[in-house]
Amino acid sequence: MELVTHKKMKSGKLMPWGKGTVVTGAKGYFFLAGNTARTQNYDPNNVKGGAAGDAAMQWRSILTNIKADLEELGNSLDHLVKITQYVKGPFPNGGVLSSPNFRLDVMDEFFAEHCPKHCSYNNPPPSEVIGVAALAHPDLVVEIVAIAALPD
């Protein structure tokens, strides 16, 4: 399998997301459900358990969960094709990137340790950052959806 992520450039500057990823030779794709950072006692049927910590802690927890989910299926972060980040407001300057809940720094720290090619300053996969008013639980500030290619 081969993954080629094309860099997104704007006015000669590297953007912190890829333009697109071309995948050849994959036997399929893994579409991960949205990941959130929930406490151990989380029970959606009885509305118990909240979010695990502050925004930075939630980002770390979610990325760790994504890594574990991929590895459980015999895959890895190396095969990420696309990620979508849903970030809860506030949006002080009107855009999602101004939210204190958007933590590109935490994502870069995580990828620098576990998969450096996906750091925003290197050659990350394509992604979206979408601002939302609420997530499934009031304590949640971020949810991340990931797509990975399955190696042949």
User: CA of 28: how far to CAs of 68, 78, 79, in Å?
Assistant: 19, 15, 11
CA 69 to chain centre: 13
pLDDT tens per residue, the chain (152 residues)? 787 777 777 788 776 676 777 887 788 888 988 888 876 766 666 666 667 678 999 999 999 999 999 999 889 999 999 999 999 999 999 899 999 999 999 999 999 999 999 998 888 899 999 999 999 888 899 999 999 998 87
- Which residue reads 């994959």 in tokens? 26
Give residue 44's pLDDT: 64
Q: Where are the strands (E) in 25-60, listed by range?
A: 28-31
Element (H, E) at 24: strand 13-24
Q: What is the pTM of this model?
A: 0.84
- Between CA 5 and CA 22 the distance in angstroms is 6
Q: Which CATH architecture has domain 2-150?
A: 2-Layer Sandwich (3.30)
Domain residue ranges of the chain, discontinuous segments joined by +: 2-150
Give residue 123's pLDDT: 84
